[in-house]
Amino acid sequence: MAFKTIDDLNDISGKRVLVRVDINVPMENGRVTDATRVERIKPTVMELISKGAKVILLAHFGRPKGEVVPSMSLEPVVSTLADVFGVPVAFASDCCGEPAINAIASMDIGTVLLLENTRFHPCEEKNNPPFGKELADLGDIYVNDAFSAAHRAHASTVGIAEHLPSYAGRTMQAELEALEKGLGQPQHPVMAIVGGAKISTKLDLIGNLVAKVDHLVIGGGMANTFLAALGVGVGKSLCEHDLADTARDILAKAAAENCEIILPTDVVVADGFAANSPNKVVAADSVPSETMILDAGPETVGLISDRIKSSNTLVWNGPLGAFEIEPFDKATVDAAQCAAHETRAGNLVSVAGGGDTVSALNHAKVSTDFTYVSTAGGAFLEWMEGKTLPGVAALG
């Protein structure tokens, strides 16, 4: 995975640098409620400013589907950008045309300008070539710091890069370097944990992992589909019975690839999907027909912990149980704490990501102990699926 970084930029004083960022921040009543995404792009923006660049931010916000939707304007984010960067931030009411051209023409060296939502134009998501060129004409250099949008071949992530020298920003660089350690050039033994609700949404992911990792834990609701495919009764559990053949194919592929599959050997069963629903631990092959599996049991967690301790690298997506409702968070929390401990001790490179995984690791209070936790949902999953991300390929 070759890409250029800001280190490859020479004299950029007075240059117009177009920086694609992810500032798709949560908002309530027109106010930003969590500025984490803005904090993440700060190192790139400040570094470019300190080198005398004119920093022009390009971003999307929400899904306006190619139309101007006032509630999806980026203007309310301007004050948060200014607060976090500690410098004034100007705003242009369109990401192209006169408003953008005029605002850029009046920029001083070392200042920041935010352009309006790129997705207000239908050409953005279609990666329409003239639109990519129009965006590129606004600047001299392109920097992409939005890994979370890198799985989309849009004008602001791909089209623009065809016309300008293109570089990864610091956040993109950190993400790519962490991912490289996770699956690109990992230190073996490599272990993966894949959990969550259904295998139907994670078939590509599992297919890629069995070819790359030494041990694959399958947990959460999707483990039930595998248990059922092996002829085990799973009672009222969430289970995709129609995917039994697919599950058996995956097990056969794993055996051919020498990938050990770890399925639950014991499980926590409950009467219903509710917090503190009456529950008990049973062997995975003895699930009472009127109950549902909501978590992995202690024996399984012990097995997973042993593998974590003997692995050098761990990649993780998806919880091992219904972690949002107690006490069915236990397997996820215990395994996460084991991985955090091994990472802190310097024995493990741990890379995790995907929407629910981030909440699960936050819940286990270990997010900062992992080597890297990616907040880029779709892009992280596509990377785990072994797909080339067009926004990253464009930086090569």
Catalytic positions: 37, 198, 355, 378
Q: Does 238 bind ligand AMP (CB under 6 A)?
A: yes
Segment contacting ligand AMP (CB under 6 A): 48-56, 124-132, 317-325, 335-343? 317-325
DSSP 33: S
User: Which of 197, 232, 261, 282 touches ligand AMP by CB under 6 A?
Assistant: 197
Backbone angles phi, psi at 355, to 5 degrees: -40, -65
Which CA distances in Å does 36 have to 89, 124, 303? 18, 25, 35
Interacting positions 209-228 with ligand AMP (CB under 6 A): 220-221
User: Which of 132, 196, 297, 391 touches ligand AMP by CB under 6 A?
Assistant: 196
Cβ(219)–Cβ(334) under 8 Å?
no
The token duo for 146 is 């939005």
Pick 64 or 321: Cβ nearer ligand AMP: 321
Pick 293 or 336: Cβ nearer ligand AMP: 293
CA 152 to chain centre: 13
Q: Does 139 bind ligand AMP (CB under 6 A)?
A: no
Segment contacting ligand AMP (CB under 6 A): 106-114, 146-154, 176-184, 196-204? 196-204
Segment contacting ligand AMP (CB under 6 A): 42-50, 79-87, 120-128, 316-324? 316-324
For β-strands 279-283 and 266-270, DSSP reports them as antiparallel
Pick 182 or 318: Cβ nearer ligand AMP: 318
Q: For residue 274, how many other CB atoms are within 10 A of its CB?
A: 12
Q: Which ranges in the chain belong to alpha helices (H)?
A: 36-50, 78-85, 97-105, 122-126, 129-136, 170-179, 203-212, 220-229, 244-256, 298-310, 330-344, 355-363, 377-384, 390-393
Q: Does 203 bind ligand AMP (CB under 6 A)?
A: no
Q: Does 293 bind ligand AMP (CB under 6 A)?
A: yes
Q: Which residues bind ligand AMP (CB under 6 A)?
A: 196-197, 201, 220-221, 238, 293-294, 318-319, 321-322, 324, 356
